[in-house]
Every structure is written in structure tokens, then in C-alpha cells.
Structure 1
């Protein structure tokens, strides 16, 4: 399993993107039950076991299924996350294999996010 620093993003980096970037595409790959307990604002839900299928859809189908425009392959700020990092890494690797060159994993996941945000 590839686990390189360039495919990782920290809490601090994600916080900056959430505050300043218009291009951030944040994907929560946890289960619906996990998301029902809390989520990072602005994230869309694509369960980890459907990432490959979802990101292989054409743009119209993706938008119809998820309510947002599909990011382009060269999207500069495509970030996946789960609860603690493992599924987010798996989703990131799937996206990279599909050609999303800048896909990254928020390694701290929702667990770190909720702790630092006091949720």
C-alpha cells in the first residue's frame, strides 16, 4: 500500500483549505451511520466501497448521484477522509489509480477533526 507524504494532508492544512479554498473537494468515505454522528462541513459522502465506481462515472451521472459536479482529473484539492485514516488512504489510492493526480488523504480523519474542533 502506497503511503507517501505527498498524498497526505494534515489537520492544519485541511483547516486552511476549508477556510480559503474555492476548489476543495472533500470526500467522506465513512458509513452512513458514522456520518449521522457528525461530519466535516462541506464534505460529500461517497462510501469507501463505492469510490472506484463513483469516480469512474461520467460527469452528469456523478452530479445526479451526489448533487455536486465531479472534480476533474487535475483537481488540485481532492481530499478523502474516514474516521482514522485507513479507509481514506484506500480511497485516495483508488482515485490516484483512476487518474486523479492530486488526490490526498486526511490522515487524522474525523476522529482528529472532532477532537480538535471540540465536537
Structure 2
């Protein structure tokens, strides 16, 4: 599991990936985690199976290697856990969920 502190520090570690698996409409309502890439859960398997150049073109960042640290976030942790399990089945061995997800982030950041 990823912690709030690890997620907050993620922008300082370009080797880590932070994927928000909420729907775009949810992001518009609440805001986004700094340096996160939005890949809604229903699109995640397709995204992680894209060729490297297509991933980069679509998401503006190099596709993570199978051993890269990938942190998944959603609203309250449920979809992040499902995303983590999916990524692991696809071979991404260092995938983990941010259990508190947006709910904890907003709490600790004071609604900023």
C-alpha cells in the first residue's frame, strides 16, 4: 500500500508513476492529485497494453516498465485496489494502491 506521504512526495521521483483511475467527471468535480495521470479504470487494461510510443502519445509520459513503482488512486481506495490487482496480473510487479486515495488526500490537504 502507498501512503499519503509517498503520494505527496511522488512528484519528486520521476521514476514513480501515479495513476488516478477515477472518471474524468469525478476529477472535474474534486480536483486532481499533483503529477497524476488520469486513466479511468475501464481503460486501464488497454492503456497498460499499449505499445510504448502509443502510451507516450496518449498520456504524455513514457510507459512504465514492468518493474516501475506505480501507485493507483481513486476516490476511496476500492478502484485503486482493483487497478493494482489488474496491473500485477499484467506483470507490473511494483504496483500498489493508495488506500486513502482522494478522500484522505483532500482531508490532509485541507480541501485545497
Q: TM-score range by the shorter chain?
A: over 0.9
2:5 counterpart SS class: helix
Alignment of 1:99-114 (within 5 A): 99-114=91-106
Question: 2:17 and 2:10 mapped to 1: Cα distance?
Answer: 10
Q: How well do the aligned residues superpose, as a CA RMSD in angstroms?
A: 1.1
How far does residue 17 in structure 1 lie from its aligned partner after superposition? 3.5
Note if contact 2:66-2:91 (Cα within 8 Å) is conserved in structure 1. Answer: yes
Q: Could you say which residue in structure 1 is the equivalent of 2:40?
A: 47
- Structure 2 vs 1, CA of residues 16 and 67 (structure 1 numbering), >3 Å: closer, same or farther? closer
The answer for the alignment partner of 2:52 in structure 1 is 59
- The change in CA–CA distance for 1:64 and 1:22 in structure 2 (over 3 A counts) is closer
Structure 2: state its 5+ residue gaps.
none
- Counterpart CA distance in 2 for 1:110 and 1:95 is 20
Calculate the TM-score normalised by the size of structure 1: 0.87
Q: CA deviation at 1:107?
A: 0.3
Deviation of 1:15 after TM superposition, in Å, equals 2.4
- Equivalences, count: 110
Q: Provide the TM-score with structure 2 as the length reference.
A: 0.92
